[in-house]
Structure 1
Amino acid sequence: MNDSSIVHVLEALKIRLDEENVLAVHSTSGIYPKMGFVFNEPLTKYELEQLIRKNNLDLPAEYREFLLLHNGAEFFTYEYGYSFCLYSIEDMIKEYHSLEEYCDVDYILNYCYPIGYMVDHGTLLLDLSNFKQTNKGNILLMGVNTINLYCDLPTWLDRMLISQGNAYWEWYSKEVEFE
């Protein structure tokens, strides 16, 4: 995929979904469970601009684009929940205010917005520390430790869909040296 905009990433996913937003995914032992996807209704440009102005937010185009497509979504849903979600702007603002109450890391409070959650891993943060130079955010995952995933939101979402909701950054290999 050459154009990794949120629109193109989500279009590529939706082409594969059935009429109930369900997809059969490959799992271990040859099992093909059906996983769902829940997409919230979009915000209008006017609603988004009002919320941004009211809350003094500085959001990159990639996240605005997502909110204008779907004001929140759950990915790889099943009977017990979901693999990960991207928050609505209202939930993002609420989670940010919660962060202010318990987080003592100035960097996170000054440069990051909580934009989603990964079950068993933690909160997805949109790091805007380089936003002025790049006009893009960087994705961090804040759990027991904070992990830099070194990519913007469209790239992260694309990778999460390719890995079927699994923590792709935990898949690694190591060069073998022979004597």
Structure 2
Amino acid sequence: MEEGKLIHLTLAGIKEAVSKYGTFPMIQPGGFVLEDATFEFNEPATEDEIRKLESHFNVSLPKDYKEFLALHNGLELLDGIEILSIEDVMKYNETEDLPEKCFLIGYHFDGRYVIDSNRYEKGDLDYLFYLDSIDHFDEAVDLKANFEIWFDRLLSSNGNKYWVLERDAKAYYKNIN
């Protein structure tokens, strides 16, 4: 699949489920359905707004992230996760201490999502990082994903930090209780 196509499929899937069920059915451990999954989609960004963001950080934005912005200039989802609008990306990065060409694009409750466009510009599609609220970039978790794969995996894991999910069977049972 071509980079930038998965974000279209994932967003279409969300909208179809919400249209059909009135919500996005999220299955929690044990089979319980979380009924209050919410999605607040912003209006699309214009090409000028996207170019302004690239110019602001002197970067080439990843294709899949640009596709997302062209569909929705920001999104609040699952009651605690936010993908920032272009305006908020520029605003909130004023106080961030990140390496050159790295910038905050969203929040996950108490953590932050950061794009490392240095990687993307070198052809590496694994450019997305997660930082806890007080972490410096050198302590970031490499999500080994681009924007659209991260977003798809995040939804598949019901908004859980899939990169830290317990894989040991005994420990998993303990976490359900």
TM-score (norm 1): 0.78
Equivalent residue, structure 1, for 2:140: 146
Q: Which amino acid aligns with 1:146?
A: A
User: CA–CA distance in 2 between the matches of 1:21 and 1:156?
Assistant: 24
120, 131, 134: which one pairs with 2:120? Answer: 131
Equivalent residue, structure 1, for 2:10: 9
User: CA–CA distance in 2 between the matches of 1:56 and 1:148?
Assistant: 22
- Contact 1:128 1:137 (8 Å CA) reproduced: no
**Deviation of the 1:51 alpha carbon:** 4.2
Identity of aligned residues (%): 28
What's the RMSD between the two structures over aligned residues?
Answer: 2.6
**Deviation of the 1:41 alpha carbon:** 0.4
- Contact 1:128 1:136 (8 Å CA) reproduced: no
Q: Structure 2: any 5+ residue segments left out of the alignment?
A: 170-177
**Deviation of the 1:83 alpha carbon:** 2.9
What secondary structure does 1:142 align onto? strand
Q: How does 1:1-179 map to 2 (within 5 A)?
A: 5-18=6-19, 22-28=23-29, 30-53=32-55, 56-76=58-78, 82-99=79-96, 103=97, 108-120=98-110, 122-134=111-123, 136=125, 138-143=127-132, 144=135, 145-173=139-167
Q: Where in structure 1 do 4 or more consecutive aligned residues deviate above 6 Å?
A: none
Q: Structure 1: any 5+ residue segments left out of the alignment?
A: 77-81
List per-residue Cα deviations over 1:119-140 (Å, max 9, x = no partner).
Answer: 03x1100112222221645111
- Contact 2:23 2:35 (8 Å CA) reproduced: no
